[in-house]
């Protein structure tokens, strides 16, 4: 599973600044998914080939009451779900009572944590660190989030601590694993949209053979199975398997597990409740899926028992709100009755095929040449942007690397034009495409 790094610290120490550095998107995904998380932010980042999830816990000071204490509780949940906690303090301000209260909280959590001394651009870091020695948190990372100083080294260190050193072998191992288990499907969606019903339905199909999970515990969130001789693995964020244990209460919806499933999947099935239509939280999730570059299939669930005019209204709304992701296949299903559930596989298989297809340099470059002939890139400072050739980079999502001159000046609209052209000519459905530019001057 993708490691989760939680940022904690009192207000104003620089958590959001660090969060923005660590995550890919400028405006962080404020995943208000469960409707509870008013100020917790989730984002995704990558160091080399290693993805990670960052949670900005929004700040706890240790003495909250009322609504603040509910939020503090959320922060504590985030801490529990994290693999590692980065405890930020302000080198300039020195140790405060709030820092000490948070430290006391953390000591009780039985978690791996590190002290992070931020704003070291403003003071002598070693001297500042002495001030925090009483916390007994050991050696601190010294960073200046605002300039990015020390951030890369810190994350490298932290990821190595969680997952061991990065080697070429560990990457190969991963792909071997992928092959063995087939297509990894993440079923995600808001609470109550019907995820567990769908997981049960998918696994309950007559043609499905669920493998005994040799070597894995029953608690595993991975459920490998075979359907028509083809391998799949469901990533069970709904906790269906664990719910089976009689005495256990259904798990609470977990944003972190959802984000991990998205990161970890090849294809994400986003489940939406037809009766509520597409809501903001669905779009947040979808935003995260695209940000992560995952292939996606949209399942509009609870289609049973809806009136014709209601259905018409929902379809109109879907067309409008999902226009920005017109490459994703949409299925109207009933997980409860099984209607259309089997058809999901057609789109899952298609999306996976498109996301992992081998694209030849020749073919890609020919498409690029045609596209730039029909519609030339613009002039910048009296010189035309030149795009010369391209080749495929990583898969899932398919990445196209275009070489040329002044490529950093390519306008967003032109990039979109190229992306749409590649998509159309190559008939790529169900997955975002990444375009990267390399300038030769
Ligand atoms: P948060 O409340 O913990 O999320 O803190 P913010 O990220 O909003 O930062 C609070 C203030 O500290 C902002 O004005 C930041 O610009 C500033 N800040 C954050 N990191 C640094 C840093 O490394 N150096 C300096 N000098 N200021 C910083
Ligand atoms: P989860 O929280 O996303 O895992 O949602 P559940 O699978 O627990 O379903 C939430 C509720 O919606 C339950 O009462 C289900 O019986 C109901 N439900 C799930 N799928 C359907 C469906 O296709 N049609 C209808 N009418 N109800 C459904």
As a three-state string, the secondary structure of 171-194 is HHHHHHHHHHHCEEEEEECCCCCC
Tokens 């570059």, located at residue? 293
pLDDT over 90 (residue 214): no
Neighbours of 381 (CB within 10 A): 6
Report the candidate in 253, 404, 258, 272 with the shortest Cα–Cα distance to residue 325. 272
201 CB within 6 A, ligand 2: no
Torsion of CA 334, 337, 343, 349, to 10 degrees: 90
Smallest-distance ligand from the CA of 200: 2
For residue 200, give the ligand 2 atom closest to its CA: 7
53-97 pLDDT, tens per residue?
Answer: 898 877 555 555 544 555 566 677 778 889 999 999 999 999 998
Q: Is 252 annotated as a binding residue?
A: no
Contact 112, 86 (CB under 8 A): no
pLDDT-based confidence at residue 288 (cuts at 50, 70, 90)? confident
By mean pLDDT, which of 220-224, 372-376, 392-396 is the weakest? 220-224
Cα dihedral sign, 178-179-180-184: positive
Does the interface ipTM go beyond 0.90? no
Contact 417, 378 (CB under 8 A): no
What's the maximum distance between 2 C-alpha atoms anywhere in the chain? Answer: 72
pLDDT-based confidence at residue 1 (cuts at 50, 70, 90)? confident
Smallest-distance ligand from the CA of 88: 1
Q: Which residue's alpha carbon is nearest to atom 24 within ligand 1?
A: 119
| DSSP structure string for 383-436 | EE-EEEEEEE--TTTTEEEEEEESGGG--HHHHHHHHHHHHHHHT--SS--EEE
Distance CA 417, CA 409 (A): 15
Q: Is 265 annotated as a binding residue?
A: no
What is the whole-number distance in angstroms between the Cα of residue 341 and the centre of ligand 2? 14
pLDDT over 90 (residue 172): no
124-160 pLDDT, tens per residue?
Answer: 999 999 999 999 998 999 999 998 999 999 999 999 9
pLDDT-based confidence at residue 238 (cuts at 50, 70, 90)? low
Q: Is 287 annotated as a binding residue?
A: no
Q: Is 122 annotated as a binding residue?
A: no
331 CB within 6 A, ligand 2: no
What pTM was estimated for this model as a whole?
0.77
Residue 241's pLDDT is 59
Structure tokens at 395: 């898969």
Cα dihedral sign, 250-256-259-263: negative
| Domains of the chain as residue ranges with CATH | 4-163 (3.40.50.300), 178-356 (3.40.50.300), 361-439 (3.30.300.20)
What is the whole-number distance in angstroms between the Cα of residue 14 and the centre of ligand 2? 41
Residue 32's pLDDT is 39
Q: Which residue's alpha carbon is nearest to atom 17 within ligand 1?
A: 14
Q: Which residue's alpha carbon is nearest to atom 22 within ligand 2?
A: 302
pLDDT over 60 (residue 173): no
183-210 pLDDT, tens per residue?
Answer: 999 999 988 999 989 999 998 888 888 8
37-48 pLDDT, tens per residue?
Answer: 445 678 888 888
Q: Is 192 annotated as a binding residue?
A: yes
What is the whole-number distance in angstroms between the Cα of residue 15 and the centre of ligand 1? 7
């Amino acid at each position: 599973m993708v490691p989760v790094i939680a940022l904690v610290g009192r207000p104003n120490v620089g958590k959001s600044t660090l969060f923005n550095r660590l995550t890919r998107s400028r405006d962080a995904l404020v995943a208000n998914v469960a409707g509870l998380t008013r100020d917790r932010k989730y984002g995704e980042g990558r160091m080399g080939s290693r993805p990670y999830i960052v949670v900005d816990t929004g700040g706890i000071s240790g003495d909250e009451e009322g609504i603040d204490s509910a939020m503090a509780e959320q922060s504590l949940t985030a801490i529990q779900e994290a693999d590692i906690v980065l405890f930020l303090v302000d080198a300039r301000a020195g140790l405060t009572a709030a820092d000490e209260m948070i430290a006391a909280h953390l000591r009780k959590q039985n978690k791996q944590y590190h002290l992070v001394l931020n704003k070291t651009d403003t003071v002598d870091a070693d001297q500042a660190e002495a001030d925090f020695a009483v916390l007994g948190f050991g050696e601190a990372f010294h960073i200046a989030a605002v300039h990015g100083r020390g951030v890369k080294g810190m994350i490298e260190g932290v990821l190595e601590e969680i997952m061991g050193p990065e080697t070429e072998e560990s990457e190969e191992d991963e792909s071997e694993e992928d092959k063995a288990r087939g297509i990894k499907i993440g079923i995600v969606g808001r609470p109550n949209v019907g995820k567990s019903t769908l997981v049960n339905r998918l696994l309950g199909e007559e043609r499905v053979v669920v493998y005994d999970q040799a070597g894995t515990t029953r608690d595993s969130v991975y459920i490998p199975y075979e359907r028509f001789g083809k391998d799949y693995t469901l990533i069970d964020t709904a906790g269906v398997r664990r719910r089976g244990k009689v005495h256990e209460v259904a798990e609470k919806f977990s944003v972190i597990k959802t984000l991990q499933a998205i990161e970890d999947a090849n294809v994400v099935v986003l489940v939406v409740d037809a009766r509520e239509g597409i809501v903001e939280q669905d779009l947040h999730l979808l935003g995260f899926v695209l940000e992560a570059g995952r292939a996606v299939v949209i399942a509009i669930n609870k289609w049973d028992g809806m009136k014709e005019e209601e259905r018409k209204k929902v379809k109109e709304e879907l067309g409008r709100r999902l226009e920005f992701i017109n490459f994703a296949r949409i299925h109207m299903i009933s997980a409860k009755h099984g209607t259309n559930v089997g058809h999901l596989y057609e789109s899952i298989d298609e999306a996976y095929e498109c996301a992992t297809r081998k694209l030849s340099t020749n073919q890609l470059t020919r498409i690029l040449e045609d596209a730039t002939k029909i519609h030339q890139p613009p002039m910048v400072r009296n010189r035309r942007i030149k795009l010369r050739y391209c080749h495929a980079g990583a898969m899932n999502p398919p990445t196209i690397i275009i070489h040329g001159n002044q490529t950093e000046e390519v306008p967003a609209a032109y990039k979109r034009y190229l992306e749409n052209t590649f998509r159309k000519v190559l008939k790529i459905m169900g997955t975002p495409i990444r375009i990267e530019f390399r300038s030769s001057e």
